[in-house]
Amino acid sequence: IRIFARDENNDIMSEFLKDGQHESIPTAVIYTLDHEYVGHWIERPAVANEHMANMQKLFSRKEGESEDDMRARIRQGYRDLQSSDEWASWRDETVNEIVELVRNNT
């Protein structure tokens, strides 16, 4: 395994843009021992992407809410999400997707 920092490796990041335009992290790129491309995985599992629209609504500013209150609510919501069963299932699904990528392409 080699890990490359996004901001110091623009050449690598530009090769694996999410939706052809976003430098997303994490990005996992898998190669064989002979440096042949196997596949790549970007940012989050598909199941998490399905929930992102709802998350954006949850984390957008409420009418009449101050900037400080919004930030505090978002921080707490993110902490709550990270300790939830849903977040744990996303971690599991990330591993499953990467393993499946390797299995299907090697």
In this predicted structure, what is the pLDDT of residue 89? 95
pLDDT, tens digit, for every residue of 11-46? 888 888 888 888 888 888 888 889 898 999 988 999
Q: What average pLDDT is seen over the chain?
A: 88
Q: How confident is residue 8, by pLDDT bands cut at 50, 70 and 90?
A: confident
pLDDT, tens digit, for every residue of 75-99? 998 899 899 999 999 999 999 999 9
In this predicted structure, what is the pLDDT of residue 24? 81
Indicate the SS3 state at residue 42. Answer: strand
